[in-house]
Each structure stands twice: as structure tokens, then as C-alpha cells.
Amino acid sequence: MDDDIVTVYGAKEIEDFECRELREYLETVGDITAEEKKGLRKWIAAGYSVYDNPYSLYYGSGFPMDYIEGVRTGNDMMKHPEDYFGGESLESESKLVTEDDVPF
């Protein structure tokens, strides 16, 4: 099936699904900051799933980390790479992911 998903299901159905997915996710994810919530909304608006993350981080099981887990882990990796890689801090060379970094 090569048809575009919007053509097949319609923009309204996709938007409804994204809103429902976001609402259900926010009910289960626990406490998040206003900045995380804003970034998450931009992530969803750009067409990504709450069950993926901008760092493309995966659990050992092979499944992607959800948005909040991925952003928190990715940001922590940037601040404390020695905890993950045994190296020096990368914070001065790289920027942590914020809501402004979502590509769309």
C-alpha cells in the first residue's frame, strides 16, 4: 500500500488519533516540566509519536524510549557522559534538546 496515510485515513482522523495518543500518554507519564510539555506538543505536531524521541535512543530490548524518557536520558548523557561513556562532559560542545529544537 503506497498511498499517503493522510489520503487513506484523512487529516481529521490522524489529528484525532494524535490528540488521543498525547492525552493518554500525558495521563501515564507522570510529572513533566512545562518545557518538556511544550517540546512534546511540538514533537507531536511535527508528526512524531510520543513513543519515539529526538535522540533516537532505544532500550536494550530494541524498542525506542518514549519522548520524555528519551529527552531526559539524552540530556543527562550530554551533561554526564562519564556515566554512560567514561568520557568528559560534552555540554560545552553540544546543546541539550529543548522544545525549540524540535525540527518543525
pLDDT of residue 58: 93
In degrees rounded to 5, what are phi and psi of residue 40?
-65, -45
The two most distant CA atoms of the chain are separated, in Å, by 49
In degrees rounded to 5, what are phi and psi of residue 93?
-95, -25
pLDDT of residue 81: 83
pLDDT of residue 53: 93
Return the sign of the alpha-carbon dihedral for residues 10, 13, 16, 18: negative
Domain count across the chain: 1
pLDDT of residue 72: 94
Q: In 3D, which of 3, 2, 43 has the Cα closest to residue 22?
A: 43
Radius of gyration of the chain (CA): 16
pLDDT in tens, the chain (104 residues): 344 444 444 556 556 667 788 888 888 888 989 899 888 888 888 888 899 999 999 998 999 999 999 999 999 988 888 888 775 555 555 555 666 666 55
Segments forming the whole domain that contains residue 88: 5-101
Residue 62 per-residue DSSP state = S
pLDDT of residue 12: 60
